[in-house]
Amino acid sequence: MIKVGIVGGTGYTGVELLRLLLRHPQVELSVITSRGEAGRRLDDLFPNLRGSTSLCFTDPDQSDLTACDVVFFATPHNVAMQSVPGLIERGVRVVDLSADYRLRDVAVWEQWYGEPHTSPELCASAIYGLPERNRNAIASAVLVACPGCYPTSVQLGFMPLLQAGVIDASQLIASSASGVSGAGRQAKVANLLTEAGESFKAYGVAGHRHLPEIVQGLSAMTDGAVGLTFVPHLVPMSRGIHSTLFARLTDTSADLQDLFEACYRDEPFVDVLPAGQSPETRNVRGANTCQLAVCVPQGGDTVVITAVIDNLVKGAAGQAVQAMNLMFGCDETTGLSGIALLP
């Protein structure tokens, strides 16, 4: 059994991680910390967990995470980097779901997050936890930086085209839309049902923190310089991300359907839809799947890719468990085979 600790875990990423780990046949959940909820039963905060665990949150200062085989950080940015170096020193492997180690360039991180990075030395060695790109590196990683939710959908959507070199990487456009759980379980007026319900808006048009992460990821897939315009939107629903990607084809002769199917043929969690279909976020609600479709409208020179994930699963907790499975030699799909809930 893999002894698992969780830091944080009072947010939506946390409860989703609990949902998955509490049913994972090779995991023993040892400890979960929360400063604000220390002493409270998990299932008191999250009543969907009643009957599945009797654990309580513990104070991080009084919790021994060093006895764990792996620790997940389901925290806001700027928390993991305080503790990760110490854990790694003591031989604990880390899966960080926050943004702390996603960017290799510390200066870029500091620019977008507006504060100094306190463990910059680990940024270069952290493995970016997108299995479809880095499967082997993840397997042997000490520290995995899980991709953000938008970046997962955008990178998986552009990857086959960039790797094949059939699009102009300098003029990419990503118009993405997320359910409200992407904003976290925090008391903000903007995310009330009465504010976010029955409405649709773009936000962060001038610049969103996931932009440099996506650009870093796409750049690794191509020789050319990547130019990306990324506009996220808020959808009146709880879960799901949908990315609509636009690129100019430099080679209009390629069979893009074939290209996508070949690229993802062996991937357990990427599903290329038959030509002519479009993915819906509900197809993957609660599942670790990324569903994709590719289309060239009117046979022109612009390709449109649509990609959906559950932002809390393939965009966060599920992908983190997938990384853990790789790190500990489990079958990659262990604990992740639940079918999406429809309707």
Write down the catalytic residue from 149, 263, 290, 330: 149
Amino acid occupying residue 2:
I
How many angstroms separate the Cα of 243 from the Cα of each of 125, 132, 155, 172?
29, 18, 10, 13
Q: Considering only residues 205-224, where is the footprint of its own copies by CB under 8 A?
A: 205-207
Among 65, 293, 316, 320, which residue sits at the site for its own copies (rule: CB under 8 A)?
A: 293
DSSP state of 214: H
40 binds its own copies (CB under 8 A): no
Q: How far is the CB of 341 from its own copies (least distance, A)?
A: 5
Q: Between 91 and 297, name the residue whose CB sits nearer to its own copies.
A: 297
Binding mask 51-90 for its own copies (x = CB under 8 A): xx--------------------------------------
Q: How far is the CB of 67 from its own copies (least distance, A)?
A: 25
Among 171, 251, 255, 262, which residue sits at the site for its own copies (rule: CB under 8 A)?
A: 171
Among 198, 225, 253, 266, which residue sits at the site for its own copies (rule: CB under 8 A)?
A: 198
How many CB atoms within 10 Å of residue 329? 10
300 binds its own copies (CB under 8 A): yes
Phi-psi region of 6 (alpha: psi -120 to 50; beta: other; left: phi over 0): beta
Q: Considering only residues 2-31, where is the footprint of its own copies by CB under 8 A?
A: 12, 15, 19, 22-23
Q: Considering only residues 238-277, where is the footprint of its own copies by CB under 8 A?
A: 238-240, 242, 244, 246, 248, 271, 273, 276-277
d(CA 302, CA 279): 19
DSSP state of 56: B
d(CA 285, CA 340): 5
Determine the size of the site formed for its own copies (CB under 8 A).
88
Among the listed ranges 1-9, 32-40, 124-132, 289-297, the one in contact with its own copies (CB under 8 A) is 289-297
Catalytic (active site) residue 149: yes
322 binds its own copies (CB under 8 A): no
d(CA 34, CA 37): 5
Among the listed ranges 26-34, 120-128, 129-137, 172-180, the one in contact with its own copies (CB under 8 A) is 172-180
225 binds its own copies (CB under 8 A): no
Pinpoint the alpha helices (H) of 63-104.
80-89
d(CA 229, CA 231): 7
How many angstroms separate the Cα of 316 from the Cα of each of 41, 116, 148, 330, 340?
23, 24, 7, 19, 16
In degrees rounded to 5, what are phi and psi of residue 121?
A: -65, -25
Q: Comparing C-alpha atoms, which of 338, 302, 339, 336 is closest to residue 319?
A: 336
Q: Between 112 and 328, name the residue whose CB sits nearer to its own copies.
A: 112
Q: Between 94 and 240, name the residue whose CB sits nearer to its own copies.
A: 240
233 binds its own copies (CB under 8 A): yes
48 binds its own copies (CB under 8 A): yes
Q: Between 138 and 245, name the residue whose CB sits nearer to its own copies.
A: 245
Q: Comparing C-alpha atoms, which of 28, 62, 12 is closest to residue 335?
A: 28
Among 17, 146, 235, 326, which residue sits at the site for its own copies (rule: CB under 8 A)?
A: 235
| Burial bucket for residue 215 (CB in 10 Å: 0-12, 13-18, 19+) | buried
111 binds its own copies (CB under 8 A): no
341 binds its own copies (CB under 8 A): yes
User: In this structure, are strands 143-145 and 241-248 parallel, antiparallel, or unpaired?
Assistant: unpaired
Catalytic positions:
149
